[in-house]
C-alpha cells in the first residue's frame, strides 16, 4: 500500500471519495473526485478510465470497501480501500 500512496502523492493515480456529495462538499482530501457509492455501478465505465491506481475512501472504510469490491468484480483491479478520510489524509500528508 505504501507504493500506492506514493503514486497518489505524485498525482499518478486517483483518489475516489464515495461519500455523498454533501459530505464531499463539507470536507474532502485535496485532489479527490466524488462519485457517491449509490452511483458506483452506473459509473463503471467512467471509473475504468481514471488513472490507476484508484484509492477509494469514505468516512470510516465501510462504503469504500463495498465500492472496492464492486469495481474489482467489474474488472477494475487496481483499486484499493483507503479506509476513512481522516486516517487516509494523515497517511498521505505525513509520509
The catalytic site residues sit at 58
Q: In whole angstroms, give the CA distance from residue 58 to residue 64.
A: 5
- H/E stretch holding 2 reads helix 2-9
- Grid cell in block for residue 91: 497517511
Burial class of residue 58, CB neighbours in 10 A (0-12, 13-18, 19+): buried
Amino acid at each position: 500500500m505504501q507504493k500506492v500512496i506514493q503514486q497518489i502523492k505524485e498525482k499518478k493515480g486517483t483518489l475516489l471519495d464515495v461519500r455523498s456529495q454533501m459530505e464531499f462538499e463539507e470536507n474532502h482530501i485535496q485532489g479527490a473526485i466524488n462519485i457517491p457509492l449509490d452511483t458506483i455501478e452506473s459509473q463503471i465505465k467512467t471509473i475504468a478510465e481514471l488513472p490507476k491506481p484508484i484509492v477509494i475512501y469514505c468516512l470510516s472504510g465501510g462504503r469504500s470497501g463495498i465500492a472496492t469490491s464492486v469495481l474489482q468484480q467489474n474488472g477494475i483491479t487496481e483499486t484499493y480501500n483507503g479506509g476513512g478520510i481522516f486516517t487516509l489524509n494523515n497517511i498521505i500528508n505525513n509520509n
